[in-house]
Chains A and B, each alone.
Chain A
């Protein structure tokens, strides 16, 4: 006797998943394996011959202080983006949760930036902060602060962080608002009767109760800052000045397509691939399981 329900096998299910499998093979598995292969090759300066060198490219990266600096910079950049955009959206969601009149319009407006392509978002910020034409740069100069992100690395970093964070605010806002609205109203009212003012209620009741969402968003935002901010950086600073805004993905592009060091670039993208796999594991292992409070 059969212990489980069995269906007669047929070709149909294979046909139905075939398009997806094909897409995955062509756009993911094939380039990924190419990257893996290339990361173990070194090409001569004229591109006439390639040599299989095992892990020499990785070895070279580990010994390269520039690469390690990029690593640190990326960590700082993604933490900063996550922090800035999450705290902004938390504040906005906190207010939206209290808004009664015009709530829908307010929410719709807040969601718009998410629909903007990264390059356009970057272009927007470039125009505003352009040292010679930008309205914000002009305003800052008026206040006695000299803005020139083309020279000042710190300012350049601040600018890409702002641009990247701004784009992500909408997404975070949606999740935070949903999380806040799922808290039973009476719990917040009980805290009000217990004597907690709005700020106290927020930090002692609401914030702890939405901590699962915070953790989820932290991972999502880190992944976003690591991988999806290429467009913004390319449009705003091209990784400059003096590599001040070169993060890992940007360096992959720069070394591979500008520096034409395909082996080194491939090795970097393999490392990034390992990172994104690790982050996805974290996300599935720890977030799918409910955070206990």
Chain B
């Protein structure tokens, strides 16, 4: 169990810089999720913490130690890979015992730990099977088992659930969370799936194009996204963005309607979440319906801002009948408006 500190971490491949100075302080026992679209550098960042990629610039601390120059073996970490990376020629038991044997633990201690981990993960029945005789979910558990028997300071997860089917993914997600809470080990988890990120993480780091856009709790990220990217990435369905400009105490949209509540001046982008738009016949946000998706619990109305081509989605509670071409009015509470300046940063 240990704190992890990333201090102005940079990574370049040749002349191309892929990480542009990432800073983070991960508390002892915290579950941090690094989330971002593919190619944003999140796996590279994780691999740098693991010691599988060299650090171009900056420093990584695990516990009290600066680990930049340490081999993966000496960092006291365990990692779960996307493809599980089980040793194909070893049985489940040997897979889990491998790291312990190398560290020279006595045989009965190894057996005790393997049995214990097998019990926690409910894989006791397969201990003598080879990985190829296991299903995807079982392999996933073995990979987790291999990580926990080591009793490391830090768990690293590299998209461990992306090869599982949807149902199993939800189940394993919960189990990973429970396991991490129970063991109290610091964990860093990489994923591109924002739902996974929101449900798992104590805090999330949103990475985009090699920059850490925001680092905070899921609720902070949802309620006060600091950039347009974070605002659009977190939340489902995604936030609506309406271009406009500030006039006095209101945002004037493209079609001239005024939405009360504003800050700053000049051109802005108004971000509103689909679930925060309230039906209001006199409301300033006028939506022309294109189609509606009935999800049972709620209805997603897709359309455009009246008189423009700007896409707009509204989530209404319950089942609502709407007709194509109909114009609906909506209003929004001031505190639920997100205003972003031309540079994409939050201004209110």
Q: Which residues of A contact B (CB under 8 A)?
A: 184, 186-187, 189-197, 200, 204-205, 208-209, 293
Contact = CB atoms under 8 A, between A and B. Distances in A.
Interface residues of B, number: 23
A194 B102 contact: yes
Interface string B54-74: 000000000000000001110
21 contacts: A184-B83, A186-B81, A187-B88, A189-B50, A189-B81, A191-B87, A191-B98, A192-B73, A193-B52, A193-B73, A193-B79, A193-B99, A194-B98, A194-B99, A195-B99, A196-B98, A196-B102, A197-B73, A205-B87, A209-B88, A293-B88
Contacts, number: 60
Query: Which 5 pairs of residues, A with B, have the shortest CB-CB distance?
Result: A194-B99, A186-B85, A293-B89, A195-B73, A190-B85
Contacts of B107: none
B2 to A, nearest CB: 16
Is chain A's interface secondary structure helix, strand, loop, or mixed overall?
helix
A191 B86 CA distance: 9
Nearest to A190: B85
A190 B73 contact: no
Nearest to B50: A193
A237 B295 CA distance: 86
Nearest to A204: B98
Is chain B's interface secondary structure helix, strand, loop, or mixed overall?
loop
A187 to B, nearest CB: 5
B73 A208 contact: no
A22 B13 CA distance: 59
B89 A208 contact: yes
A292 to B, nearest CB: 9
B77 interface: yes
B7 to A, nearest CB: 22
A189 B48 CA distance: 12
Contacts of A208: 89
Nearest to A193: B72
A203 to B, nearest CB: 12
A192 B52 contact: yes
Nearest to B103: A195
Nearest to B73: A195
